[in-house]
């Protein structure tokens, strides 16, 4: 079906969704799929709304060459699991654009995509940064479109939108050690806490625990920073140019200072004792924890046999192909799934919107540390005692929370102070 906004859709768009507790299509199908074609470049963009809770869904917008509807649908399903697992009063969605974010035309493509998706962004879809789309860029686009900030669909429901916007802006821009902002590091902090939760589950000493990090952008860089701060040795990091490895641990703060805007490290200033290895060598690094923090589908049936880590913590969305995850489990290597390990940014954003945390980073770090480690502890307890894969336990937790929300019978829209 086509409409004047340039969408094609597999769901009817006869009007705004009804504001019930939760809406989703039958048999696990997403509520809505939209395909958009950019009238200038011909690029395709996608929106998948997997579930709506009180008429709202949340999920970032990514941009990468080769992005597909299937990928966006996987990510939207993961967002729905994230919101349920962390008991957030919102459904799951995702946006994706098949375009190179380094292309000079990328900003224009993103702006036209957001303009086309405006009916959803205005009232139902709360989006944020994702792969290839930094938060400051999507906020600039929203500002030009007159929507203020990418959390607009939630903020506009507040009794006092201007006050809510000030709270959100203050939280996102709160300074943290290292010269960065809370909104830029909170997702990586959550991944670091997932890694620490795994180490604690097995009783590992932090100063003897090693991590290999695939991806050193916003999520991977933040995780590496906080793991380094906790005393864990990050022995390998990979970016588009290759893998950097040192068995005694890398100087993470120094490497982060050498990144460009695309998360790539300037090799000319890396110490000579750091080994330069091929990009995919990070997968086979001899480390306790492997953190895929770059692209989806990084761990495949073709490379899973190379994994030497004792546990995988998914910082990237859909980082492990299901067949590879099953084989890893048979080898005794559990995977902490993305909808828990990298849910910190989404959970924190809603705590901020709901006024449960504010501009003090210490409050945000404490809450996220407590909630992330408790969930990882639950997943690994089931794995260690009964051999239940973490994803199975996590999905059970998400389903239980979702059913509790439905059973509560609340039909009133979410209240944002």
Average pLDDT of the residues in 237-259: 96
**In terms of domains, do 242 and 123 share one?**
no
**In terms of domains, do 55 and 116 share one?**
yes
**In terms of domains, do 48 and 122 share one?**
yes
Do residues 85 and 394 lie in contact, with contact meaning Cβ atoms separated by under 8 Å?
yes
Question: Buried b / exposed e across 213-234, counting CB within 10 Å, b at 16+?
Answer: bbbbbbbbbbbbbbbbeeebbb
Tell me which residues are annotated as active site.
94
Range(s) of the domain holding residue 39: 7-157
Cα separation, 132 vs 218, whole angstroms: 10
Selection from 217, 195, 253 nearest residue 369 by Cα: 195
Predicted confidence at residue 263, as pLDDT, reads 84
- Is residue 417 included in any domain, yes or no? no
Predicted confidence at residue 2, as pLDDT, reads 29
- Is residue 163 included in any domain, yes or no? no
Q: Which two tokens stand for residue 40?
A: 């200038």
- Is residue 127 included in any domain, yes or no? yes
**In terms of domains, do 209 and 109 share one?**
no
Selection from 206, 246, 217 nearest residue 315 by Cα: 217
Cα separation, 19 vs 6, whole angstroms: 25
**In terms of domains, do 189 and 60 share one?**
no
Cα separation, 107 vs 114, whole angstroms: 11
**In terms of domains, do 146 and 269 share one?**
no
150: pLDDT strictly greater than 50: yes
Q: What residues pair up with 125 in beta bridges, in sequence order?
A: 57
CATH assignment of the domain containing 55: 3.40.50.10860
What's phi and psi for 322, nearest 5 deg? -50, -40
Of the pLDDT bands very low, low, confident and very high (cuts 50, 70, 90), residue 148 is very high
- Is residue 244 included in any domain, yes or no? yes
- Is residue 208 included in any domain, yes or no? yes
**In terms of domains, do 310 and 395 share one?**
yes
Distances (CA, A) of 404 to 11, 84, 89, 398: 27, 10, 11, 10
335: pLDDT strictly greater than 70: yes
Do residues 47 and 117 lie in contact, with contact meaning Cβ atoms separated by under 8 Å?
yes
The count of domains in the chain is 2
- Is residue 308 included in any domain, yes or no? yes
**In terms of domains, do 146 and 187 share one?**
no
**In terms of domains, do 248 and 345 share one?**
yes
| Tens digits of residue pLDDT in 33-51 | 999 999 999 999 999 999 9
Do residues 138 and 150 lie in contact, with contact meaning Cβ atoms separated by under 8 Å?
yes
State the helix-helix crossing angle for 344-353 and 361-386, rounded to 10 degrees.
140
Cα separation, 81 vs 59, whole angstroms: 11
**In terms of domains, do 372 and 244 share one?**
yes
Of 142, 157, 172, the domain-final residue: 157
Average pLDDT of the residues in 77-86: 95
Do residues 222 and 191 lie in contact, with contact meaning Cβ atoms separated by under 8 Å?
yes
Q: Which two tokens stand for residue 167?
A: 């709270």
Predicted confidence at residue 177, as pLDDT, reads 86
179: pLDDT strictly greater than 50: yes
CATH assignment of the domain containing 212: 3.40.50.720
| Tens digits of residue pLDDT in 265-291 | 999 999 999 999 999 999 999 999 999
Cα dihedral: 161, 163, 165, 166 (round 10): 170
Predicted confidence at residue 388, as pLDDT, reads 97
Predicted confidence at residue 10, as pLDDT, reads 37
**In terms of domains, do 16 and 90 share one?**
yes
Of 123, 157, 191, the domain-final residue: 157
| pLDDT, averaged across the chain | 91
- Is residue 410 included in any domain, yes or no? no
For the question of whether the overall pTM of this predicted structure is more than 0.85, the answer is: yes
Of 157, 192, 213, the domain-final residue: 157
**In terms of domains, do 89 and 187 share one?**
no
- Is residue 408 included in any domain, yes or no? no
Provide the 10 A C-beta neighbour count for residue 4.
6
15: pLDDT strictly greater than 70: no
Q: Which two tokens stand for residue 357?
A: 């945390």
């Amino acid at each position: 079906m086509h409409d004047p906004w340039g969408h094609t859709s597999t769901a009817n768009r006869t009007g705004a969704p009804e504001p019930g507790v939760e809406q989703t299509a039958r048999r696990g199908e997403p509520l809505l799929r939209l395909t958009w074609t950019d009238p200038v470049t011909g690029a395709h963009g996608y929106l998948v709304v997997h579930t709506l809770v009180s008429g709202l869904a949340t999920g970032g917008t990514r941009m990468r060459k080769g992005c597909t509807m299937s990928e966006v649908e996987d990510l939207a399903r993961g967002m729905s699991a994230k919101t349920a697992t962390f008991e957030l009063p919102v459904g799951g969605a995702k946006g994706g654009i098949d375009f190179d974010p380094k292309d000079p035309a990328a900003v224009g493509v993103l702006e036209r995509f957001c303009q086309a998706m405006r009916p959803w962004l205005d009232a139902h879809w709360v989006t944020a940064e994702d792969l290839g789309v930094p938060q400051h860029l999507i906020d600039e686009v929203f500002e030009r479109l007159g929507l203020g900030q990418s959390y607009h669909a939630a903020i506009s429901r507040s009794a006092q939108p201007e006050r809510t916007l000030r709270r959100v802006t203050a939280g996102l821009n709160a300074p943290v050690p290292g010269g960065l902002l809370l909104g830029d590091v909170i997702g990586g902090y959550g991944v670091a806490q997932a890694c620490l939760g795994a180490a604690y589950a097995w009783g590992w000493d932090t100063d003897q625990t090693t991590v290999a990090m695939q991806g050193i952008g916003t999520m991977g860089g933040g995780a590496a920073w906080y793991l380094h701060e906790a005393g864990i040795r990050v022995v390998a990091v990979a970016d588009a140019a290759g893998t950097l490895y040192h068995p005694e641990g890398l100087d993470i703060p120094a490497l982060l200072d050498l990144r460009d805007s695309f998360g790539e490290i300037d090799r000319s200033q890396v110490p000579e004792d750091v080994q330069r290895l091929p990009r995919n060598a990070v997968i086979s690094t001899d480390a306790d924890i492997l953190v895929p923090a770059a692209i989806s589908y990084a761990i495949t049936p073709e490379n899973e046999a190379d994994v030497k880590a004792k546990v995988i913590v998914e910082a990237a969305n859909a980082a492990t192909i299901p067949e590879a995850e099953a084989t890893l489990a048979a080898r005794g290597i559990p995977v902490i799934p993305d909808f828990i390990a990298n849910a910190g940014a989404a959970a924190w954003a809603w705590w901020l919107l709901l006024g449960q945390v504010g501009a003090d980073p210490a409050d945000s770090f404490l809450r996220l540390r407590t909630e992330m480690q408790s969930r990882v502890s639950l997943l690994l307890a089931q794995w260690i005692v009964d051999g239940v894969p973490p994803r199975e336990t996590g999905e059970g937790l998400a389903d239980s929370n979702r059913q509790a929300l439905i059973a509560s019978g609340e039909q009133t829209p979410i209240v944002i102070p």
